[in-house]
Structures are given as structure tokens and as C-alpha cells.
Chain A
Amino acid sequence: LTWVRAVFAAYVFLIATGLVVYIAIGLAHN
């Protein structure tokens, strides 16, 4: 189950990073 948790965490990390980065970029360049 620990490894399943790592896969879950990888998805959460990717999505959260993508969202934060591009919301910041969209706001910063305007």
C-alpha cells in the first residue's frame, strides 16, 4: 500500500504544480 500511496502522491503533485504554476504565470504576465 505504501507504493500505491507514492503513485497517488505523484498525481497530486503533478496536478497541483501545474495548476499553481500556470495560474501564477497567467496572473503575473498581465
Chain B
Amino acid sequence: VKRFLFENSLSLGFLGIFLAALGGQSAAGFHKYNEEALEHGGEAISYGRYLVSSDFGVAVLENWQSEYLQFFLYIFATIWLVQKGSNESKRLDRVGLETDEEQLVGEHARASSPGWAKAGGWRRHVYSNSLLLVMGSIFVASWLGQSVTGWTTYNDMRRDHNEPSVSWTGYLGKPDFWERSLQNWQSEFLAVGTMAAFTVYLRQRGSPESKPVGAPHDETASSG
């Protein structure tokens, strides 16, 4: 058990703080929801009811979609875009999809390589892009989830103001949907750009997200 916890401490640690933060968000969101309901002469709801509400759903999913979009774009962009001096970037002479030899696929696969890396045809093609495919799918699904839960909360608000409800496609053209989306995107893009630029000159001893402390500023793609 001790060995299991140590070997998976990064994934398990983040899983733990994810669940704690989600629990905190749900508690705070629940109190805020009831506060506003009572202020507007509505009825308070139970915590269980709040957990299965679109109000909570949209608050969760609008953040999920932007995180997965961030990773999707970062994985995709770093195939072709580089930053001289950053460990977030690959070497400048490696731009593009690289050779089969560098990627250890097909005849260059090792005995310990995954089966689909050794295989040819569609299996190798799918496996070669599996990280992007999965991150992209989670982005699309969570953005869809944001749109339908956001649509429900938007129509609830319109009903409270005695205004007619809008269709899902109608909601996709509303500023509510785009403000929720873009306010999350802008922060992700800023943070990613900052990491690419800051890791040229700044260091964190011991972190693989940084170059080694003594690495020169113009050294690209080293990790320490």
C-alpha cells in the first residue's frame, strides 16, 4: 500500500485535492444558490437537489472544458510551435511529427513498446494521436455539457423574469454562453503562454517543469 501511494502520489494527490475543491465548490455554490433564491422570493433547495442542478453543472463544466481545451491546444501546438530557451518546448530542429525512428514506431518499436505502436495501419495511427483524441473529446463533451446546463439555467432566469425561453441553438448565440467560455479560455491561454516564456529565465530546483537551475537561458527542451 505504501509503495502504491508513493508510485502514484502525483495522480492520487491531485485526485484528492480535486475532490476536496469540488466539495468546497458545491458547498459554497449551494449556499449562494439558496441566498439568491430567498432574496428573490423563491424557495430554498436541499444540498442533494443542488448537486444534480444545472446551476452546479454549468459551474463545474465551464471550468472543465477550458482546462481540456488548454491541454488539447498545448499538446497540438507544441508539435509545430517552439520557444527557444523553454523546457516547455521541444528542440528547434525537431519541429513536426518526427521520424518513425525517433518515435519508436513500426520497425523501430522496441520489445517493450505498446502493441499498437508496433502495429501498422489504423491502430498505429489512432495510438499515435490517442492523447489528443481523448483530451479533445473531453473538451467537446464538457463544452457541450456547459452549453446544455447553461441553457437550462439561462431559461430558468428568463422564466423568473417572465420572458420566453430560448432554444439550445439560440442559447449558443447568447453572450451568457460566450462570456462563460471566453472568461475561462483567456486565463488558460495566459497561463500557458506565461509558462512557455517564464521557464526561459526562471527555475525551480527539483521540478521537471523547470530546466535545471544551472542550465543556460538559451538551452531549449531540457528538464530538471
Contact = CB atoms under 8 A, between A and B. Distances in A.
Interface string A1-30: 001100100110011001101110111011
A3 B12 CA distance: 11
Contact of B4 (A3, A14, A18, A23): A3
Nearest to B147: A26
Most buried by B among A3, A22, A23, A25: A22
Q: Is the interface of B mostly helix, strand, loop or mixed?
A: helix
A4 B7 CA distance: 8
Given A11-B15, A15-B138, A30-B155, A4 B149 contact: no
B145 interface: yes
Highest count of chain B CB atoms <10 Å: which of A10, A14, A21, A30: A30
A15 B157 CA distance: 28
A30 B152 contact: yes
B151 A22 contact: no
Interface of B: 4, 7-8, 11-12, 15, 52-54, 57-58, 60-61, 64, 138, 141-142, 144-145, 147-152, 155, 165, 168
A11 B149 CA distance: 22
Given A23-B148, A29-B152, A30-B148, A18 B54 contact: no
A3 to B, nearest CB: 5
Contact of A19 (B12, B53, B54, B145): B145
